[in-house]
Structures are given as structure tokens and as C-alpha cells.
């Protein structure tokens, strides 16, 4: 289907696809097996200028928006959702700066992020604060020399690999969620260490670690926006990055469907290729229908956000939920139609299924997002819903 992408957008897709096929495809299984961070590929992605996509031109970026980010994430995910998330999370970690950073902060950090020299991560989740994000305990105590950060973040993607972390911590414990603030924390800050690398079901080459803050002193200038804005910033940042996760899910689903089609065309049983069976055809057709619907939805939401929309929580959530549920369904069915081969680690299908699962869970679990959508629906009181 033609989505009337601009020349630039087509070039971006084409370049990312080539990078994914030439550089990621040959090593994706090994990266997954060894749970190895794709350092060389991240460099290739940086050299191709892809980290510039979501940074404004003023800061050495290409000035692209959410749609462009989704195009890149989609093409990377089609080959490997794990490498894709290492890229996408840098955007997530950079969004707080992009949306709420002051000029000094932007000048200081954005060009480095654009060049791919420094990666980002987003530190919100804690052991007692997953979906219940408001329950964070990490504190940021204001002193004369800066803010003293204490606490532990859990399950942080790019933890240890990133240089720039957006951390959400409580500046005022009495105000609950309204007492949270957002900060920039750099990797070598004294008192900032990393916990062990998590062993995951999927996206194994992506590094997930705890962030541990023991009396970390960061300069006052590292506060993003104002004190108390922590959760406003968080919600906005997540709204912006959710379509990207939708794109990750959609890309994984696309890759799985293509692999399933290839396999069922070649695999002969009962004298015929599997794809000649109506059952298999319908499964593949359903995959194609839902993937295309995901794509159309994600691109539309991307365009909507890029047009300057002020509020798009519901739209972003819709895209992410639909695409991630689709990805889980598509990858599960892809393994199924490929039978025994689908289950074997020598074939790419089972990894795609393992990688897809997380898209239903992180950046707002689909349950929490359904809540958010329902809230929006209720606000409209049924009329023009």
C-alpha cells in the first residue's frame, strides 16, 4: 500500500532496510544466542545518520519527527527487534530534553546524541513502581551543590551502555506523583553504578540493567523543566515514544510474516507446499490484514503528532496496543505454521516470537493503556466517541 511518503522518508526507509539486511541479518541469531550488545551495529546506525532522525536541524539533526522515527524502527525491527529497541530507547531517553530541555541543555547534549556518540536511556521504573509509576521511591534532595540522588531503578533498557539517562526522582516526597522531577544523569557520575544484566525471554542483545544511585550529586542545571514536572514530562515523553514501540512490534510482525511465507512456500508435505493449504493461507492472510492495519494506524498517528497535535495520549496508546497485540498473534502463528522448524533456534521464527512479547508489556502495559483509552472515552461521555 502506498502511504505517500516523501522522497526523504522513502530514502530513510531504504537506507535503514539496507543496513538491516547487510549488517544485522547475518549476526542477529548470534547476538541473541550470546546476549551480546550490538556495539558495531550501533556504530553503523550512527554512521548512517539514523540517530539524527529525531533531532532538530539546529542541533545537528535531520529534523525528522515521530513518523520518521517509526520508519527507522520498523525497518530495523523487521530484521531484529532487539537491535531496534537499543536504537528506539535512545529516542525515548532523549525526548525529555527535546521537549522540555532548556537551550543550554539542548546545546550540550543533543548534538552528541545526534552523532550517535552518546546513547540515552529512560530511568522511571522501580521494583515497586511498574504500571504504578507514581509509586517511585528514588529521591532527589536539593542541596547547595546540586541534587543528591538516592534510589534504584529497575529493568532499564540500555542501562550501562547509555551515557545520558533521564531519571525521574522525587524532589518532594509529600506531594506524591506531583512531587517528581526529571533530571539528566550522566554515566560517570560518582555514586551511579549499574546492577547485573538481566536475563530476558527476548530482545536479548539489548542490555537491561538496574541503575543504582548512592548519594549521586548532579548539578542543579541538570534539572529538566521545573521541579514537580516529573510526571507531566514522563507522560508526554511516553506519548511520543509509544508509536515507536508500535513500529517495533509492527516491524517484528512483518519480518515474521515474510519468514512464514518463505517457509510455507518451500516446505512440501503430502506432495504440496504448505502454502497451498487453505488453512495456512487464511492464517497468512490474517497476518497481512492486521500488520497492514497496524502500519496504517502507526503512520497516521505519527503524522498526527508531527502536525503539531497538542494531545495524543489516546491515539499513541491505540497504535501501541494494536500493533503489539498483532505482533504477538502474528509471531505465534508464524511459529505454528512453520511447525517443527518454527520451534528450532536455527530458524528465526522463535526469536521473533520471544522478541514480540515485550512489546505488550513495556512502555505502558497494554492493560494500563486500555485504561487510559477508556478514561478518554468516558470523558467524551459517549457522544462523538
Partner 1 sequence: MNIVVCLKQVPGTTEVKIDPVKNTLIRQGIKSIVNPFDAYALEEGVRLKERYTGKVTAISMGPPQAVDMLRDAISTGADEAVILSDIAFAGADTWATAYTLGKAVRKINNFDLVICGRQTIDGDTGQVGPELAEMLGIPFIAYVSKVEEITDRKIRVQRMAEDGYETIETTLPAVITVVKEINIPRLPSFRGMTKAKTAQVPTWKAEDIGAEKENVGLAGSATQVVKIFFPKIVQTAEMLKGDAETQINSLVAKLKEAKLI
Residues that bind partner 1 (CB under 8 A): 8, 11-12, 15, 18-19, 22-23, 44, 47-50, 52-53, 62
Three-state DSSP at 27 gives: helix
Q: Rounded distance, CA 366 to CA 301, Å?
A: 17
Which residue, 122, 17, 125, 152, is CA-closest to 76?
17
Which residue, 37, 63, 32, is CA-closest to 49?
63
Which residue, 288, 294, 295, 293, is CA-closest to 258?
288
Minimum separation from the CB atom of position 347 to partner 1 (A): 27
Q: Rounded distance, CA 81 to CA 75, Å?
A: 9
Nearer to partner 1, 49 or 306 (CB): 49
Minimum separation from the CB atom of position 14 to partner 1 (A): 9
Q: Rounded distance, CA 259 to CA 257, Å?
A: 5
State the DSSP H helix or E strand holding residue 82, giving kind and residue range, or none if neither. Answer: helix 81-100
Nearer to partner 1, 47 or 367 (CB): 47
Give the cell for residue 360: 505488550
Minimum separation from the CB atom of position 19 to partner 1 (A): 5
Minimum separation from the CB atom of position 102 to partner 1 (A): 27
Give the cell for residue 174: 509529600
Nearer to partner 1, 24 or 283 (CB): 24
Nearer to partner 1, 50 or 119 (CB): 50
Total length of the chain: 385
Q: Which residues are catalytic?
A: 363
Amino acid at each position: 500500500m502506498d502511504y505517500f511518503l516523501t522522497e526523504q522518508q522513502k530514502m530513510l526507509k531504504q537506507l535503514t532496510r539496507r543496513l538491516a539486511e547487510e549488517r544485522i541479518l547475518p549476526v542477529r541469531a548470534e547476538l541473541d544466542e550470546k546476549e551480546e550488545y550490538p556495539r558495531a551495529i550501533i556504530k553503523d546506525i550512527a554512521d548512517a545518520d539514523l540517530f539524527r532522525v529525531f533531532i532538530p536541524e539546529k542541533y545537528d539533526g535531520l529534523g525528522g519527527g515521530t513518523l520518521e522515527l517509526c520508519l527507522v524502527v520498523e525497518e530495523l525491527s523487521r530484521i531484529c527487534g532487539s537491535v531496534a529497541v537499543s536504537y528506539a530507547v535512545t529516542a525515548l531517553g532523549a525526548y525529555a530534553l527535546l521537549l522540555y530541555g532548556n537551550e543550554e541543555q539542548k546545546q550540550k547534549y543533543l548534538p552528541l546524541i545526534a552523532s550517535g556518540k552518546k546513547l540515552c536511556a529512560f530511568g522511571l521504573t522501580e521494583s515497586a513502581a511498574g504500571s504504578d509509576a507514581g509509586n517511585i521511591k528514588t529521591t532527589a534532595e536539593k542541596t547547595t551543590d546540586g541534587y543528591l540522588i538516592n534510589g534504584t531503578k529497575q529493568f532499564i533498557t540500555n542501562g550501562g551502555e547509555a551515557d545520558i539517562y533521564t531519571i525521574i526522582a522525587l524532589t518532594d516526597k509529600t506531594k506524591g506523583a506531583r512531587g517528581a522531577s526529571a533530571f539528566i544523569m550522566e554515566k560517570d557520575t560518582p555514586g551511579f553504578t549499574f546492577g547485573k544484566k538481566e536475563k530476558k525471554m527476548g530482545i536479548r542483545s539489548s542490555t537491561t540493567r538496574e541503575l543504582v544511585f548512592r548519594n549521586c550529586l548532579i548539578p542543579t542545571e541538570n534539572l529538566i523543566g521545573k521541579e514537580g514536572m516529573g510526571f507531566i514530562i514522563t507522560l508526554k515523553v511516553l506519548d511520543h515514544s509509544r508509536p515507536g514501540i508500535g513500529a517495533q512490534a509492527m516491524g517484528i510482525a512483518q519480518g515474521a510474516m515474510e519468514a512464514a511465507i518463505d517457509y510455507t512456500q518451500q516446505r512440501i508435505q503430502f506432495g504440496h507446499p504448505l502454502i497451498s493449504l487453505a488453512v495456512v493461507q487464511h492464517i497468512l492472510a490474517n497476518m497481512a490484514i492486521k500488520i497492514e492495519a497496524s502500519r496504517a494506524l502507526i503512520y497516521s498517528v505519527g503524522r498526527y503528532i508531527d502536525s503539531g497535535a497538542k494531545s495524543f495520549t489516546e491515539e499513541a496508546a491505540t497504535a501501541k496496543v494494536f500493533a503489539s497485540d498483532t505482533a504477538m498473534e502474528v509471531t505465534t502463528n508464524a511459529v505454528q505454521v512453520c511447525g517443527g522448524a518454527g520451534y528450532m533456534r536455527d530458524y528465526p521464527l522463535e526469536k521473533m516470537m520471544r522478541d514480540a512479547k515485550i512489546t505488550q508489556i513495556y512502555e505502558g502495559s497494554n492493560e494500563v493503556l486500555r485504561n487510559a483509552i477508556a478514561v478518554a472515552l468516558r470523558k467524551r461521555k459517549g457522544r462523538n466517541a
